[in-house]
Structure 1
Amino acid sequence: MAVHELAPSRYWNTIGSHEPVLTVNDGDRITTSTVDARGWDRHGNSAAMAGNPMTGPFYVKGAEPGDTLVVRFESIVPNREWAWSMDVLAPNVVDPSYVPKLPKAERKRWKINTESRTAQPELESDMIAGLQLPLAPFFGCFGVAPALGQAIGTATSGQYGGNMDYRGFGACETIYLPVFVQGALFHLGDGHAVQGDGEIVGTGLEISMDTTFSLSLLKGQTIGWPRGESEDSIFTVGNARPLEQALQHASTEMLRWLTDENGYGLSVQEASQLMGQCVEYEVGNVFNPAYTMVCKMKKRWLPSKKAK
Structure 2
Amino acid sequence: MIKHTFTPTQYFSTLGERPPVLTVADGDTIVTKTLDAAGFDENRNRLATGGNPMTGPFYVEGAEPGDVLAVRLDRLRPNRRYGWTGTQLAPNVMDPADVLLLTPMASFAESRGEWDVDSEAGTAVLTSPKNKLGRLPIPIRPMVGCFGVAPGGGQAISTATSSTNGGNMDYKGFVEGVTVFFPVAVPGALFFLGDGHAVQGCGEICGTGIEISFDVEFTLSVVKGKTIQWPRAETATHILAAGNARPLDQALQHATSEMARWLQEDYALSVTEAHTLMGQCVEYEIANVFDPAYTVVCKMDKALLARVLSL
Task: Provide TM-score, normalisation by structure 2.
Answer: 0.96
Q: Could you list the runs of 5+ residues in structure 2 that have no partner in the other structure?
A: none
Percent identity (aligned): 56
Q: Could you say which residue in structure 2 is the equivalent of 1:195? A: 200
Change in Cα spacing, 1:102 to 1:124, as seen in structure 2 (3 Å) is closer
Q: Could you say which residue in structure 2 is the equivalent of 1:297? A: 300
Q: Could you say which residue in structure 1 is the equivalent of 2:24? A: 24
Q: Could you list the runs of 5+ residues in structure 1 that have no partner in the other structure?
A: none
Pair 1:100-2:79 in alignment: no
RMSD: 1.1
Change in Cα spacing, 1:117 to 1:267, as seen in structure 2 (3 Å) is same
What are the residue-to-residue correspondences of 1:1-308 with 2, within 5 Å? 1-103=1-103, 104=105, 106-123=111-128, 125-260=130-265, 263-303=266-306
Amino acid at match of 1:71: V
Aligned mates of 1:304, 1:255 — CA distance in 2: 17
1:254-279 C-alpha deviation (Å, 9 max, x unpaired): 0000001xx11111111111101110
Q: CA deviation at 1:96?
A: 1.3
Q: CA deviation at 1:46?
A: 0.3
Amino acid at match of 1:208: S
Q: CA deviation at 1:50?
A: 3.0
Aligned mates of 1:64, 1:295 — CA distance in 2: 27
Amino acid at match of 1:289: P
Task: Please list every run of at least 4 consecutive aligned residues from structure 1 whose deviation after the TM superposition is greater than 6 angstroms.
Answer: none
Aligned mates of 2:191, 2:307 — CA distance in 1: 31
Aligned mates of 1:288, 1:36 — CA distance in 2: 17
Q: CA deviation at 1:124?
A: 7.2
Task: Provide TM-score, normalisation by structure 1.
Answer: 0.97
1:35-73 C-alpha deviation (Å, 9 max, x unpaired): 000000000010111300000000000100000000001
Q: SS at the partner of 1:223?
A: coil
User: Which sits farther off after the overlay, 20-29 or 104-113?
Assistant: 104-113
Q: CA deviation at 1:117?
A: 1.1
- C-alpha contact 2:16 2:157 (8 A) present in aligned 1: yes
Aligned mates of 1:19, 1:219 — CA distance in 2: 24
Matched residue count: 304
Change in Cα spacing, 1:278 to 1:101, as seen in structure 2 (3 Å) is same
Amino acid at match of 2:73: F
Q: SS at the partner of 1:292?
A: strand
- C-alpha contact 2:51 2:160 (8 A) present in aligned 1: yes
User: Which sits farther off after the overlay, 124-133 or 152-161?
Assistant: 124-133
Change in Cα spacing, 1:2 to 1:304, as seen in structure 2 (3 Å) is farther
Q: CA deviation at 1:220?
A: 2.4
Aligned mates of 1:271, 1:303 — CA distance in 2: 14
Q: SS at the partner of 2:89?
A: coil
1:149-178 C-alpha deviation (Å, 9 max, x unpaired): 111110000000000000110010010100
Q: CA deviation at 1:123?
A: 3.9
Q: CA deviation at 1:145?
A: 0.1
Greater helix proportion: 2
Q: SS at the partner of 1:128?
A: helix
- C-alpha contact 2:71 2:179 (8 A) present in aligned 1: yes
Q: SS at the partner of 1:228?
A: strand
Aligned mates of 2:129, 2:50 — CA distance in 1: 29
Aligned mates of 1:284, 1:72 — CA distance in 2: 19
Amino acid at match of 1:117: G
Amino acid at match of 2:8: P
Aligned mates of 2:296, 2:101 — CA distance in 1: 28
Q: SS at the partner of 1:300?
A: helix
